[in-house]
Amino acid sequence: MRVLLTTQPGHGHFDPMVPYAAAFRRAGHEVRVASSAAFAGAVEAAGFGFTAVGENFTWEKVDATFPEFVEFARRGQGLEYANELSWTRWNPAATRDLLASFETWRPDVLIREFAENGATLAGQVAGIPVICASWSALPADARSWGTVIDWPRTLDRYRTAAKTFGLELDDAETVWKQHLTLTGLPPLWFAGAEKDTNLRHFRLPLAERPDEPGPTWLEALGRDRPLVYATLGTVFNRSRKPRQAVIDGLAGLDADVLLTVGNTVDPDAIGPVPPAIRVERFVPQSYALAKASLVVSHAGLGTMLGAIYGGVPMVSLVLGAEHPLNAASAAAAGLTIPLSGDEINADQIAAAALQALHDPAHRAASAAVRQECERMEAVDGVVPLAESYARAQSGGNSTRSSQAAKNSRSERPA
């Protein structure tokens, strides 16, 4: 079977898909990944074939291509901007490029990450089954995102984009409802939510204990007192104000602190830090989480999943994107203490960290969810599931003939 995974160009989008891609490869299937040309290096470093689609940018350096994003992010409208960019620029361009690529390498199934909907359109046009791999606190769609995203406007954007390819949709919402959705989150995460019969839970090896010892300096951390692992991910890592609040807030704890700042930030450029805080560009998350007693992060789901799987309590700094939803869901399950807006200051971070480190109820909730995660199906189970889904869906969702699909392609938008 040919499997094409599609992703917007960012590690937070792509990294949670790697375990699925690896599972298909282990099973002997042909696997490729489609994303922006600028993201080719990340995909190829992970060991997968690459197809360039969509706008040529990366979310890690989004301000270089779309400098207006910085201002939207400052106003707390980063997710709104990203959604508009996706539907006016990314999805139409990615759809056209995907359809063109099908002429030389046609997949049997498309697996799109949560935010990438070029594959949703391309799958409809070409009659190829589509599976959603979710990295959000919400499993399949944005219907419950409330004020974070204007859902009716999103549906309208989808209908408009679909018409470009000759698709007339009476009910665009069914497009999301019919997709099989994969999540690395445990069922307890969705307690009280409407049951989604198309949702399947798999344990992803994002934070499994490493087989080999980590850096020698890491061995000394967390030996005599708790280790706090702090990160703002690979996009919000450049936000100086919250980063400094993390440094100042954690400096007074009786703990060792490991702060990773990402490859786009020079550790020497952030100024002096207290002796108890070690700053590194990057440390594999599995090494840090294997020793951590607390995670302080931006509520990106990749980091949160690792903490959840390891039973490590969290403090979540809500900075933008889908992070308000991730933090709220984790807080409802007793797994994190969320901070947002003016709460993201040194005093509040210090108080939240102390509470998360020493509150027995907080630690008990984290341990309970870790146990549920350990009972989840291993990620290799996605292979027979996708094989069955592709067989069942193949030929049933084709809305256009092959020739009509070719005719629908025109010049990419500027």
**So what's the pLDDT on residue 224?**
87
**So what's the pLDDT on residue 33?**
98
Q: At what angle do helices 301-310 and 360-374 cross, to 10 degrees?
A: 90
Q: What is the per-residue pLDDT across 330-350, written as a single tens digit (0 to 9) for each?
A: 888 888 999 988 898 999 999
**So what's the pLDDT on residue 379?**
94
Q: Is the pLDDT of residue 246 over 60?
A: yes
Over residues 313-327, the mean pLDDT reads 83
**So what's the pLDDT on residue 318?**
87
- Residue 406 in 3-state DSSP? helix
pLDDT category at 215 given cuts 50, 70, 90 is confident
Q: Strand 336-340's sheet: what is its strand order?
A: 277-280, 256-260, 227-231, 294-297, 314-318, 336-340
Over residues 161-188, the mean pLDDT reads 78
- Report the alpha-carbon distance of residue 149 to residue 129 in Å, rounded: 26
Q: What is the per-residue pLDDT across 38-77, written as a single tens digit (0 to 9) for each?
A: 999 999 999 999 999 999 998 878 878 888 776 776 666 6
Q: What is the per-residue pLDDT across 96-154, written as a single tens digit (0 to 9) for each?
A: 999 999 999 999 999 999 889 899 999 989 999 999 998 766 544 444 544 456 667 77
Query: Which tops the pLDDT comparison, 204 or 27?
Result: 27
CA 82, chain centre distance (Å): 14
**What does the block give as tokens for 198?**
């198309």
- Report the alpha-carbon distance of residue 101 to residue 41 in Å, rounded: 19
Residue with tokens 């809500």, as numbered in its chain: 318
Query: For the chain, what is the mean pLDDT?
Result: 82
For the ranges 136-150, 170-184, 239-253, the lowest mean pLDDT is seen at 136-150
Residue with tokens 């056209």, as numbered in its chain: 96
**So what's the pLDDT on residue 403?**
39
**So what's the pLDDT on residue 278?**
87
Over residues 76-105, the mean pLDDT reads 85
**So what's the pLDDT on residue 266?**
75
**So what's the pLDDT on residue 400?**
42
Q: What is the per-residue pLDDT across 21-44, written as a single tens digit (0 to 9) for each?
A: 999 999 999 999 999 999 999 999
Q: Is the pLDDT of residue 327 over 60?
A: yes
Residue with tokens 């709104």, as numbered in its chain: 80
**What does the block give as tokens for 245?**
């609040």
What percent of the chain lies above the pLDDT cut of 70?
82
Report pTM.
Answer: 0.78
